Structure 1
Amino acid sequence: MPSQKYLMYISQNYSYAMLRPIQSEILARGGSVKWFLEGKEVSDKYLLNDEIQLNTVEEVNQWGADFVLVPGNVVPSFIKGIKVGLFHGFNSGKRGNDAHFKIRQCFDMYCTQGPNTTQRFLKLSEQYQTFTVKETGWAMLDPLFTAVEKNPYRIQADNRPTILLCSTFSAETSYADELFPTIKKLSQSPEYRWLVQFHPKMSADIVEKYKAIQNENLQFVETDDVIPLLQAADLMICDTSSIMIMFLLQKKPVIAYKNKTTNDSFIHIDNASDLDKTIVQALNSSEQLLNKIDLYCSQTHPYSDGQSSKRVVEACERLKKEGIENIKPKPLNLIRQLKLRKKLKYWKI
């Protein structure tokens, strides 16, 4: 098969880390990659020196990608190429169990993360017949399962347990502010080492509060690549975010604060006063909890080989070779496509 062109279509800064493992695989196979940044919530300052950005839809269509890879929910139909949905996280239950499986009729193929998403999407594929499904694992996690020689968040001489505090940003599901007094108090003790990282959309006021309590035991981290943080920590504390699942897939414990899911592989607590003793419990996890984590991982993301990017690219190439003629045409989605045309200032037919 001739070398393929891949367009990375992103609208959030965290999408860079999601797509770069796939980019490496594409380039290793002799393919070419270019980037298109949609909207005001993504910045080109995170582009690497050798990454090429296309600035307009006209440039994108002139280049003519074979595939458009999207770690998001929507992509315009008027952009050329086979549209591939890659997800921007796991089904964490934040917006209800069905939000992860909402079909917006934008994609020709979904690359699913594991059996518990594949099974649902296969049923939806049978129902709609407008897309195909391939289980590949989530490519963003490839580096998570790859040994790293130097991790900036690991301190060789510091043997204390490392706790990673994360939080989502929405007022309804974020408890970073509520946990602040407890974290401030616990971080004054030298017993643990704390790393704090929040969603990029977190309230600036909350971010500044946590930055203000940094000391020799607590470091606030701003980054577009959370993988080194996940690798460096022994335990995560979080409210409701798919990053909890990413951490859990390392077979490490997660304390879920006021989390509304029924995921019994998390250690659930609802009172900040219980956090101290629960940390001790989590760092000495029972065999029963570890077995639950194992089972959950096998259903959610059973791939720890670091080869999900390879599976994504192979699935794309196979789809191109076999053709998409068996996929039914998608509905016109006139309202959504008009909104996207207006947003991208593109009116050509």
Structure 2
Amino acid sequence: MVLSYYLLKLPYTVIWEVRELFNLNKDVMLYCANALDYQIFASVQKHLPPLKIIAKDKKAQQELAAIGVSSKVYPVFPKGVIMCRQAGYKFPASRMKKVGMRHGAYTFKPFANSKGYNLLDHFYMTSSREVERAQAVGITCAKAVGFPKLDPMFDGSVDTEQLAALAKGAGLDDSKATLLFTATWNDSGVSAISHWYDKLDSLTADYNILVTVHPWTKDEIKQKIKNTKQVFFIDTADIVPYIQLADVCIGDTSSVLAECCALEKDMVTFTVDDGKRTVQEVKQLIKEFSIQIDQFDQLAGAIKQALTKPQHLAQARTKANKIMFDQLDGKAGLRAANYLKELFPQLNQTNN
């Protein structure tokens, strides 16, 4: 458990309980650490009355305001709280109902402390296999719903006209295949971004290049990518439609690979040494559903292989998708919303 939980528990709980006594805790609210949390929740929100938003801090409030979302800055004292992460310690009143859900598909790194998860009444995971893994380490609040972030790609919300507009905005050349590069945090110990971030210019003559990286990636790395001519840096929370534009996705151990797999994209991955964030089951899945290479000079051949034999690893992707998502039917948000309505009956009403 993080130290702030113990520091917050008494003062936060006293204030919350006094407010509860006078019926001042009225709203079920969504806690957002950034704009990505809001975007991830969108496919759940569509099945619920509008939720008021709690921003983690002023920076998060500004991010949300930039996309037209008003919010109150934490600390706030809601009747109940929903979050796209595991941050129950910020709301330590034990009688407050709390729900968390994944902001990245499946668990590509080891589970955090089970005590932190178990502060929550529910934590929505992306598959029954993930729930089994969670239960094995003592997490008791897990429920499988799927990954709502992917729903728009399977329920018809994103159409060909929208994708064409994105492609035009990214400056994609119809005569070239499109590569999407992704990487986990550069200091995670399991990132391969150092292999390619300063070499993208060698590929732009032959391919369209899209890039998305972990938000914590060093600024100098991001700036190098942004400064590379004919490379489009995806600087938005909603990367899924850009994945759909790609012919081949290139990565390491980032959970974005799960999203690429769900969208049936051929993948090339750089091998990385095991670190404290390595999950052996996930490492094996990546090995099975992608063409693996060790160095940048092997990339050109791997890309050609992926483009000429696009169905070569289709069976492995299907297997991985069953493990990571159970089903990809565009209804994960609905399943999450139904669980929320069970826990928070007021969400069955027309107004929250």
Superposition TM-score, scaled by structure 2 size: 0.76
Distance 1:85 1:49, change over 3 A: closer
SS in 1 for 2:313: helix
Quick one: distance in 2 between partners of 1:314 and 1:154?
35
Q: Aligned pair 1:150/2:167, yes or no?
A: no
Match of 1:341 in 2: none
Q: What is the identity, as a one-letter code, of the residue corresponding to 2:315?
A: N
Distance 1:254 1:5, change over 3 A: farther
User: CA offset at residue 173 of structure 1?
Assistant: 2.9
User: CA offset at residue 5 of structure 1?
Assistant: 4.7
1:143-180 residue CA offsets vs partner (Å, 9 max, x unmatched)? 23233231243248714221111122232233323313
Gaps of 5+ in 2: 1-25, 275-282, 346-352
SS in 2 for 1:14: helix
SS in 2 for 1:262: helix
Quick one: distance in 1 between partners of 2:107 and 2:309?
22
SS in 2 for 1:254: strand
Distance 1:163 1:101, change over 3 A: farther
Match of 1:68 in 2: 81
Match of 1:244 in 2: 257
Q: What is the identity, as a one-letter code, of the residue corresponding to 1:16?
A: Y
SS in 1 for 2:35: coil
Of stretches 169-178 and 41-50 in structure 1, the one that deviates more from structure 2 is 41-50
Q: Aligned pair 1:192/2:204, yes or no?
A: no
SS in 1 for 2:289: coil
Match of 2:144 in 1: 135
Quick one: distance in 2 between partners of 1:49 and 1:42?
11
Distance 1:102 1:246, change over 3 A: farther
Q: Is the 8 A contact 1:167 1:240 kept in 2?
A: yes
Match of 1:53 among 71, 83, 90: 71
Gaps of 5+ in 1: 322-349
Match of 2:119 in 1: 106
Superposition TM-score, scaled by structure 1 size: 0.76
Q: What is the identity, as a one-letter code, of the residue corresponding to 1:165?
A: F
Distance 1:55 1:219, change over 3 A: closer
Q: What is the identity, as a one-letter code, of the residue corresponding to 1:289?
A: L
Distance 1:288 1:40, change over 3 A: same
Match of 1:118 among 118, 131, 155: 131
User: CA offset at residue 226 of structure 1?
Assistant: 0.9
Q: Aligned pair 1:201/2:216, yes or no?
A: yes
- Give runs of aligned pairs for residues 5-84 of structure 1, distance below 5 A: 5-26=27-48, 31-39=49-57, 42-47=60-65, 51-57=69-75, 60-61=76-77, 64-65=78-79, 67-75=80-88, 76-78=91-93, 81-84=96-99
User: CA offset at residue 14 of structure 1?
Assistant: 2.1
SS in 2 for 1:219: strand
Between structures 1 and 2, the one with greater helix share: 2
CA-atom RMSD in angstroms: 2.7
SS in 2 for 1:169: coil
Q: Aligned pair 1:267/2:291, yes or no?
A: yes
1:114-148 residue CA offsets vs partner (Å, 9 max, x unmatched)? 12202223555xx56xx443221111111232332
Q: What is the identity, as a one-letter code, of the residue corresponding to 1:255?
A: V
Distance 1:277 1:48, change over 3 A: same
SS in 2 for 1:296: helix
1:273-323 residue CA offsets vs partner (Å, 9 max, x unmatched)? 1000000111233645110111110111133221111110101222346xx
Distance 1:91 1:21, change over 3 A: closer
Q: Is the 8 A contact 1:71 1:85 kept in 2?
A: yes
Distance 1:185 1:92, change over 3 A: farther
User: CA offset at residue 198 of structure 1?
Assistant: 1.7
User: CA offset at residue 266 of structure 1?
Assistant: 2.1
Match of 1:232 in 2: 245
Distance 1:305 1:87, change over 3 A: same
Quick one: distance in 2 between partners of 1:160 and 1:184?
15
Distance 1:251 1:70, change over 3 A: same
SS in 2 for 1:42: helix
SS in 2 for 1:119: helix
Q: What is the identity, as a one-letter code, of the residue corresponding to 1:139?
A: P
Quick one: distance in 2 between partners of 1:184 and 1:101?
42
User: CA offset at residue 181 of structure 1?
Assistant: 4.5
Quick one: distance in 1 between partners of 2:59 and 2:292?
32
Q: What is the identity, as a one-letter code, of the residue corresponding to 1:282?
A: A
Match of 1:169 in 2: 185
